[in-house]
Chain A
C-alpha cells in the first residue's frame, strides 16, 4: 500500500470517527449512510463482481434485523409476551448490562442466521441464471416479508419494537453510529481483501463466462454460495443495527422492504459503478445525500422522485460514477494489469 493510499484511508477513518462530533444533528443520517455503504458493497460483491443481480438480498437484512431483536429481548424476557404487549410500555425494561449483552450476542447471531439462510437459499437458487435469478430473489424477498407479517411470535403485521435502550445511555444513537461505522469498515476491508485473492478472480470469472469457468474446473456453485454467504453475513449484522436505529421493525416496510432498501442497494451500486470497489461507497454517499434532499424538499413526492431517479440512472447512466471517471481518465483510474498483485 503506497503512502498516498494510507493517507486517504487514514483520513476517511478519522472523518468517520469524528463525524458525530462535527455534525451531531446528522448523526442518524450518517449512521444510515454507513449501513447503506454496507448494503451497496455486499450487493456489489454478488451483483457487480459475480454478475448475479439479486433483488432479494433484503431477505438477509430482514432476518438479521429480527434475529438481533429477538435475541436482545429473549435474553431477558419471553419474546411472545413482549410482542403481544406491543413493545410493552413500562413492563419491559433493560438495564445497561442486559442491553450491551443483547448486542454482543444478538449481532453475531443475526450475522450467522443470515449466513445460514444464504447458504441454504443460495444452494437452491444460485443454479438459476440471469433474470430468472433476479425474479426468484425478488419473490424470496417478498415471500419472507409476508411470512414475517403473518407470524404472531414476532409481532406479525403490527411489527416489533427492539429492546428499548436503558436510561443510563444518554446518547444511544452514538452507539449505533460507531457500530455501523465499524461494520462498514470491516465490510470494506473484507471485500477489498477478497477481491485481491484468487476468490476475487474466481467470482469475476463467473461473471465473465460461467460455462468457461466451470469448464476450467472451478466449483462454481460452491464459489457462488460462498460469495452470497459473505454478503449475507454483513447484511445480517447491518440489519440488526438498522432495526435498533429505527426503533421499530415493520415486516414489510423496514425488514423485508424490497421496494425501498432492496432496490436502493442495487441503485447505489449502479450509481457508483457496478463491479468496482469504490463505486458502491461513492454511490451510497451520493444516494444518501440525494435521498435526504428529496425527503426534505419533495415531501410527499419523495418516493416518486426516487422511482424517477432509478429509471434515469439505469437508462441514462448505467456505467456509474466510477465507470464514467475511468472512461474519462483511463491512465489515472483505469484498470491496471498489475492490480491483483496479491493473487497467486
Chain B
C-alpha cells in the first residue's frame, strides 16, 4: 500500500520538524506509562513472592476501571472511585486466593499461567455481559491546560492520574518497608521456608500479597478509566505491558520498573503516531517478543538461557 507507507514517512518527518508534536507525544506517553509502572509493580510483587505470573492482571485493571465508570454514572466524582476500586479488587483478590490461587502456589509455572489465564477469560466475559463491550470512560470534567502557545495540550486528568499513580506506588514502597505485613511479605519473597521457620504464616502472606496486587490493579484501573478509555477486551495488553516492564527491570527494582514503565508509555505513543493507531496493540505484543528475544540473546552470550 504505497499510500499508507507515504503517510508513515510523513509522520516521521512531522515528528522531527515539529518539536511540539514530539514533545506532546512524549508527555502523553510518560503520563500513560505511570499507570503501566503501577501495574507492573503489582505483578512483580506477586511474581517475586508467590512465583506466579498473574495473567489476570489486566482484567483486574479493567474491573477497577468499570468500578470508576459505574460510580461516575451514578453521580460520584470518578476519582473517588480509586479507593473504592482498590477495596473491591482487594476483596476479589482474597476471594480468588481462597478458592483457586492457593491451590496453584506451589505447582509448576505453566499451571499457574494457564489457571490465571482461565480466570482472566471468565472475568473478561463476565464484564462483557454485565457492562457491555463498548469503550467506556469515566469523565472527571477537569479540562485541559495549554502550554507553549497552545502547541502542547495537557489534559489535567491525565496529569492527576500520573501524580496519583506515583503516590500509590510510593505508599506501597513505604508499606513494604515499614509495616509488619510488608516485612513478612519481603521475608517470604526472600525465602519462604525460612520465613515459615521464624513463624510467619506464609499462606496468609500469599493471600495478602495477591489481594494487595489486585487492589493496586484496581486503583490503576480506576485511574486508567478516568484518564483514558477501557473496554472488556483490552485487559491482556495491560498484562503483557506489565510483564514486559518486569522483564526489563527485573524483580524488586522499583526505579527500574518506573523507568521502564514511563519509557514503554512514550514508545507506545510514538509507535501509535508513526504506524497508525490500528497497529498500537500489535506494537505492544511485537515489542514483547523483541524484548524477550533480546534478553534471551544477551543471556545466551553468557552461556545462560531465559528460564
Contacts and interface: CB of A to CB of B under 8 A. Distances in A.
A88 interface: no
A192 to B, nearest CB: 25
A132 B305 CA distance: 10
Interface stretch (B63-71, B174-182, B259-267, B277-285): B277-285
B109 A314 contact: no
Contacts of B114: 53, 263, 266, 270, 310, 314
Interface stretch (A99-107, A141-149, A193-201, A333-341): A141-149
21 contacts: A53-B114, A125-B292, A128-B292, A129-B305, A132-B296, A134-B110, A134-B113, A138-B240, A142-B240, A143-B285, A146-B282, A149-B278, A149-B282, A307-B125, A308-B118, A311-B100, A315-B104, A315-B111, A316-B103, A318-B107, A318-B111
Interface size class of A (residues with CB under 8 A): 35 or more
A118 B38 CA distance: 35
B125 A314 contact: no
A128 B279 contact: no
**Chain B contact surface mostly:** helix
Contacts, number: 133
Given A53-B110, A143-B285, A315-B115, A135 B243 contact: yes
A263 B1 contact: no
Contacts of A136: 288-289, 292-293
A233 B286 CA distance: 23
Contact of A306 (B53, B111, B121, B296): B121
A139 interface: yes
A309 to B, nearest CB: 8
Contacts of B243: 135
A128 B236 CA distance: 21
A52 to B, nearest CB: 10
Given A131-B53, A132-B296, A150-B282, A139 B289 contact: yes
B80 interface: no
Contact of A143 (B107, B129, B282): B282
Interface in A135-170: 135-136, 138-140, 142-143, 146-147, 149-150, 152-153, 156-157
A132 B296 CA distance: 9
Nearest to A133: B306
Contacts of A128: 292, 296, 305-306
A217 interface: no
A3 interface: no
A86 interface: no
Nearest to B103: A315
B1 to A, nearest CB: 6
Given A130-B110, A135-B292, A308-B118, 20 more contacts: A53-B113, A127-B297, A127-B305, A128-B292, A128-B306, A129-B307, A132-B292, A132-B296, A135-B113, A142-B285, A143-B288, A143-B289, A149-B282, A150-B276, A157-B278, A304-B125, A304-B129, A310-B121, A311-B122, A316-B103
Nearest to A129: B307
B121 A303 contact: yes
Contact of B306 (A127, A304, A318): A127
